[in-house]
Chains A and B, each alone.
Chain A
Amino acid sequence: NAGVTQTPKFQVLKTGQSMTLQCAQDMNHNSMYWYRQDPGMGLRLIYYSASEGTTDKGEVPNGYNVSRLNKREFSLRLESAAPSQTSVYFCASSELSSNNSPLHFGNGTRLTVT
């Protein structure tokens, strides 16, 4: 039961470098999400994909891009990393976009930008 799998688990980047965070789910869920978690701020939504082929901005999309590659995979790209993007990133999925469908989370990627 893999659920939601994120890679890598840890990453250190220099300012200006780029990278892609990978996420895959094996639950046949329609909706996928990217959140960032910062101390004292809870989780904030970066981007989401309600269904395959669609993506939308969340609360804090600046500096990020996403790709819903297929139903299983949803990647997050940082084109030019900044120290403000140091955070823990979580991918999540849900079966439906309805309000009573819970989110299932991966174990996170801890990113440090120096």
Chain B
Amino acid sequence: GDSVTQMEGPVTLSEEAFLTINCTYTATGYPSLFWYVQYPGEGLQLLLKATKADDKGSNKGFEATYRKETTSFHLEKGSVQVSDSAVYFCALRSNFGNEKLTFGTGTRLTIIP
């Protein structure tokens, strides 16, 4: 079945550092890939998405590229801010009529000033 494996946390970085959170997936066919962010006490919010191979999703300075050859969708940001502290979830949604959005276990990111 479909699965998502993402970098375990927690991750602690200094402000303005470069961020990478790794995500790899297993799926049949051509899934769509997503990154969601969860701030304390809130639900998940869509951060970015990519729907086909080589697509790059971007939002708020974050980027991720859909790499079919390595089955990866790593999240990157060039210069993190304290306000980026949150839990980040990688997810996929199959294109075989499957309603299910499959999530990774989440990576907690803390940015220190």
Cross-chain contact B93 with A108 (CB below 8 angstroms): no
The stretch of A13-21, A35-43, A78-86 that contacts the partner chain: A35-43
Contact with A along B24-64 (1 / 0, CB 8 A): 00000001101010000111111001010000000000000
Interface size class of A (residues with CB under 8 A): 20 to 34
Cross-chain contact B103 with A90 (CB below 8 angstroms): no
Known A45-B100, A105-B44; contact A99-B31, beta-carbon cutoff 8 A: yes
> Is A26 an interface residue when CB atoms closer than 8 A count as contact?
no
Cross-chain contact A56 with B44 (CB below 8 angstroms): no
Cross-chain contact A102 with B34 (CB below 8 angstroms): yes
Query: What CA separation (Å) do A56 and B100 show in the bound complex?
Result: 11
Q: How many A-B residue pairs have CB under 8 A?
A: 59
Query: What CA separation (Å) do A50 and B101 show in the bound complex?
Result: 13
Cross-chain contact A99 with B34 (CB below 8 angstroms): no
Contact with B along A87-105 (1 / 0, CB 8 A): 0001010000101101111
- Identify which of A33, A97, A100 contacts B49 (C-beta below 8 A): A100
> Is A74 an interface residue when CB atoms closer than 8 A count as contact?
no
CB nearest neighbor in A for B106: A42
Known A40-B105, A42-B106, A100-B51; contact A105-B43, beta-carbon cutoff 8 A: yes
B105 cross-chain contacts in A, Cβ below 8 A: 40-42
Cross-chain contact B99 with A31 (CB below 8 angstroms): yes
> Taking the nearest CB of chain A, how far is it from the CB of B81, in angstroms?
23
Which 10 residue pairs spanning A and B have beta carbons closest together?
A: A105-B43, A42-B103, A100-B51, A99-B93, A99-B95, A42-B105, A105-B44, A100-B32, A43-B103, A102-B46
Interface on B for A, CB 8 Å cutoff?
A: 4, 31-32, 34, 36, 41-46, 49, 51, 89, 93-95, 97-101, 103-106
Interface on A for B, CB 8 Å cutoff?
A: 4, 31, 33, 40-45, 48, 50, 56, 58-59, 90, 92, 97, 99-100, 102-108
Given contact pairs A42-B104, A50-B99, A108-B43, enumerate 6 new A-B contacts (beta carbons under 8 Å): A33-B101, A42-B4, A42-B106, A43-B89, A102-B49, A103-B44
